Amino acid sequence: MDKLPLALDPNFSGASEDFPAILRRKSLLQSAPEPTAAAGNRTFIPTESTTILAFKFAGGVLVAGDRRATAGNTVVYDRADKVLEIDRHSIMAIAGVPATAWEMARVLEHSFQYFRRTQLQEMSVDGKVRALSKLLRDNFGFVMQGVGVVVPIFATYDGNSKPEARLYFYDAMGAQFEVTDYAATGSGSPAVRGILYYENNWGDKKLRELNEDEAIAIALRALDTAAEADTSTGGVDRSGKIFPRRDHDVARRKDRAGLSTERGMIEEPYRWVEAIANRREYIETQLAAGSPIAAVGYRDGILFVTLGRARQKIFEIYDRIAMGAIGHPGDIERLRMAAIELASTEGFTRSAADVSLRRLAHYSLSSVMKSAFEQVYGPPYLARLLFAEIGSSPKEDLFLRIDYDGAIAADGLTAQPRQRFAVLSGTRQSAEWMETFLRKEHVTDAALPDAISLALDAWSVGRLAMGENANKELPERDAVRKHREEELAKAGIEAAVLERDRKSAIRYRTLADEEVRSALQK
């Protein structure tokens, strides 16, 4: 099996890069040649997409494009996709060479997701606009050779409490121009701009006042009119059921071979074993106070829950994969960033469906953590990781734990019946009690409020098994509930879900503290 895309960079430091820089570092994104004058005897005629438009209406921004792709005077395709969803806040429409434009859209889509997952926040509108501008500027060498021109339209909005629609068009060098009402590019754009100008100034309503049906009607009328004067623009072929498109869902080291003999401590095998034992004891002591994490399957997906006062412990890794972690914040951050980078480059190189938690854990993270643990002159990772990957059915869900020494404990890897839950804690006794409790109480088809209550009870069971005053046996239900209420009064709830039937390809969703507490009242 090919392991290359999941090989962890040995020089990975955890420092944040933008996603295109990572792709170039891994030789997955080609740099354009130096800008030179286009060859005069060029015989290759690239396929090109043509007319696109966008304008603001009462419900937001409508982005539309005809479906035709041409090569010179030849119609290559009449069902080309030119309006591409980049993320839930952004749409890009393309005019120019589809091969280049579609790759730019893929890079942008993965870049925005990578930023959100690594920085734990959405990229700003200005950041998104400049990201597309940089891709266009980096492509200018191909533009000068006459084979890669792209002139897109980009529509987005701020994801704040009062979202404001923003609309931009670009030139081939990457300059962005924000417009207040409408934009159009491509060979049929002169006719389209004339119609939009007329409708906005002398029509029955301003473009911003149109409802969705009225806005769609004007967009179709503009594209159909452009097709009358421009052979490269495809109009509305009602008999052939070919219509301009107005939406599109994109969102869908090797271990060291030998031991050094230069240092006396590991010259002899028993001293190396002693050093490993001391290291294990040290790490266990450092992790002992970590707040437990419970991951439980419920009717509609997988729930992660923990309690805490400051640091985040639950993270999104990729579309269908989430992670919980306890340990040193710096080590958790390095492993989280590495996991996101590995999953993102795998999804970009192949497809999102090829990103597998088992490959991510077994071929990369486990071996790296094992190597760091066994190299006694280097720092180990002070972290325990809990992953979950949601499948198309409950039988395909996977829970997986990686310890600080690289040891993997996975649910469902044997012929035994799967348990649709997993736990993470600072001590072995705490984790064992949580698992014992969940084996008795967990119900696979529970509703989300019941799953939240059960996960918080499991957290309390794990917490009661920790510290100097730890219980010596599994506590009674009343003691668990009392402890839970006491902790809820002084700590915040951190929770997230992987939703099986969510329409978006991204199944991860965080639950606010208020939402969790409200669910507990039901």
Please list the active-site residues: 50
The token pair that represents 139 in the structure block: 């492509």
| Distance (Å, whole) CA 302 – CA 415 | 22
Beta bridge partners of 157: 165
Torsion of CA 203, 205, 209, 212, to 10 degrees: -70
Pure H helices in 350-420? 357-360, 366-374
| Distance (Å, whole) CA 5 – CA 197 | 49
| Distance (Å, whole) CA 67 – CA 83 | 10
Tokens 């990457």: give the residue.
174
Burial class (CB in 10 A: 0-12, 13-18, 19+), 44: exposed
Identify the CA nearest to 456 among candidates 397, 394, 520, 499: 520
Centroid of chain to Cα 15:
18
Give the start-end residues of each E strand in 176-331. Answer: 176-179, 182-185, 293-298, 301-308, 314-318, 321-327
| Distance (Å, whole) CA 228 – CA 233 | 8
| Distance (Å, whole) CA 311 – CA 296 | 21
Helix (H) or strand (E) holding 63: strand 60-65
| Distance (Å, whole) CA 258 – CA 244 | 64
Helix (H) or strand (E) holding 285: helix 269-287
Backbone angles phi, psi at 59, to 5 degrees: -95, 0
| Distance (Å, whole) CA 405 – CA 366 | 8
Sign of CA dihedral 361, 365, 369, 370: positive
| Distance (Å, whole) CA 430 – CA 292 | 8
| Distance (Å, whole) CA 152 – CA 83 | 10
